[in-house]
Amino acid sequence: MSNIAYAAEGTTETESADTGVLASLGINGTLFTAQLINFTIIAGILWFLILKPLTKKLAERQKMIDDSIANSKKVQENLAKSEQHFQQRVDEAKVEANKVVERATQEAEKMGATMKTKAKQEIELLVDQAKRNFSIERDEMRAAVKTEAAEMITVALQKILAEKMTEKKDKELIAEMIKKME
């Protein structure tokens, strides 16, 4: 029995020494272990139920924002190309109008003094017609550019807003954009 008592005494001394060191720090070893296990379980639950889905949603939102920005840049590029094309057509029309005026002037000079009044009338008609044609083409080009820009803006807005607009809202938005472009 003395061996058993001695073994029991040794165990108590070791435990009391460990307890004494932890106790001197103000820590209960069993309670600390239980709290550590609880903390680990809670942290795991929070990670899988809250943080992981939250980070996934944030990544999806970031991708959606990046896509919207890319689409906006494409719309701006297309609008710039349309404006450039429109300006090119206007320049071509001016050159063509100038050529028509030059030809008319040369013909009038060749005809002489007797046909001067008749030549002036023809030149005036040609210039007026060229101006009307130029005006009509310019108006048609503006209308086409406005329509294309409105359609591009509508497509971009539909993608951004992720909802189909009613026809009334669509027309109001197009009219507003056309007013701003003028």
CB 68 within 8 A of CB 76: no
Task: Give the torsion through C-alpha atoms of 164, 169, 175, 179, to 10 deg.
Answer: -100
User: Which has the closest alpha carbon to 96: 65, 61, 131?
Assistant: 131
- Give the pLDDT confidence of 13-39 residue by residue, as tens digits: 445 555 677 778 888 888 989 999 999
Residue 108 · residue 119 · CB < 8 Å: yes
Give the tokens for residue 148: 């294309």
Give the domain extent around 140.
2-181
Provide the residue count of the chain: 182
pLDDT, tens digit only, all 182 positions of the chain: 444 444 444 444 445 555 677 778 888 888 989 999 999 999 999 999 989 999 999 999 999 999 999 999 999 999 898 889 888 988 888 888 888 888 888 887 877 777 788 888 899 998 999 889 989 998 888 888 888 877 877 777 766 665 556 777 778 777 887 887 76
Whether this prediction's pTM lies above 0.75 is answered by: no
Q: Between 52-111 and 116-161, two packed helices, what is the crossing angle to 10 degrees?
A: 180
Q: 163's torsion region: left (phi>0), alpha (psi -120 to 50) or beta? A: beta
Closest CA to 87 of 99, 77, 79: 79
Report the number of distinct structural domains present in the chain.
Answer: 1
Is there a contact between 141 and 91 (Cβ–Cβ < 8 Å)?
A: no
Task: Give the C-alpha separation, 40 to 48, whole Å.
Answer: 12
* Cβ atoms of residues 141 and 89 within 8 Å: yes
Which residues have a Cβ under 8 Å from the Cβ of 75 and sit 6 or more positions away?
152, 153, 155, 156
**Cα separation, 4 vs 10, whole angstroms:** 10
